[in-house]
Chains A and B, each alone.
Chain A
Amino acid sequence: MQIVVRLAIGGTILDITGDIDLAHSPAMRKALLLEIKEKKTPKVFLNLEKVRYIDSSGIASLVEGLKASRDQGSRLILYGLSKTVREVMELSRLQKIFEIHDSEAQALDS
């Protein structure tokens, strides 16, 4: 899994590539919490367009990021979810908890 950090208007984009599984979710969690808790970035965009797989540990990291952003009064915004990632979100019944957009343009406009 690779994480590329980009600056965006009003926040930061994390481009994730690869599988978010037990081996790699700690790295995503760390990057997310760094932006939210330490850098106090007001908007953190998570680009999941190139994520092929996410497991329950990845979902747990997203939930932790969401809680941290709520505590900070910031926003965690997801976009570009593949069919596989959407399925897992739906199975978790968490898709309505997260702010999710189809594309980067829509996410940045939100």
Chain B
Amino acid sequence: MGVPVRGVRVTKNRSKGRGKAQPKSEMLVKLELQSNPEALCLVRATIERAAEVLHFRDTEARAIVRSVDEALANVIRHAYGGRAGHPIEMSCRKLQPGPQNSAQDGIEILLKDSGVPVKPSTLKGRPLGEVRPGGLGLHFIRQSMDEVEFSRKKGKNLLRMVKYLSPTPLAAASEGE
């Protein structure tokens, strides 16, 4: 998979969820947050519950939670330079296949902030295997989500992340947990 850069959609698994038409979506929850690290636990709880409601397996739910948490931490640390009190908007939508395409059910999370523009050169993460602090957050996101898309519109950074529901039957998957 390539490096996700601003304005470029990165699709991890093209066999999943990418039909001819975009799937329908339905708003599940929308949060207006401040760039305060103390808010992260609330978001994690919300996303965990949303993933559960959408029947994601435990491992997938943890991966989604981890991705959203890391993405928000990046916004707080980098876009807002660690300063508290700045706005972050998070919306979480349920994706559903349309009647004319093969897309699967899934979850879409959109983060919007008014911080400094994201530089594509900062979106590389660090090579794994290096024993040094930092640079792991983006790697966690890319490993966990099926689609990761950075863009900037109207002075705001946008990060769109999508995870499609695994086609594995829930009952069989649960036995393997």
Contact = CB atoms under 8 A, between A and B. Distances in A.
Interface string B7-48: 000000000000000000000000000000110110010000
B122 interface: no
A64 B62 contact: no
B37 to A, nearest CB: 4
B69 A21 contact: yes
Contacts, number: 61
A82 to B, nearest CB: 11
A22 B143 CA distance: 20
Nearest to B39: A23
B41 A19 contact: yes
Contacts of A110: none
Interface string A55-73: 1110111011011000000
Greatest chain B CB density within 10 A among A55, A59, A64, A94 is at: A55
A88 B62 CA distance: 10
B7 to A, nearest CB: 24
Interface residues of A, number: 23
Interface stretch (B105-113, B126-134, B156-164): B126-134
Contact of A53 (B44, B77, B132, B137): B44
Given A55-B73, A56-B70, A87-B62, A67 B131 contact: yes
19 contacts: A19-B41, A22-B37, A22-B73, A22-B76, A23-B40, A23-B41, A55-B137, A56-B73, A56-B134, A56-B136, A60-B133, A63-B131, A63-B132, A66-B131, A67-B131, A87-B62, A91-B136, A92-B128, A93-B128
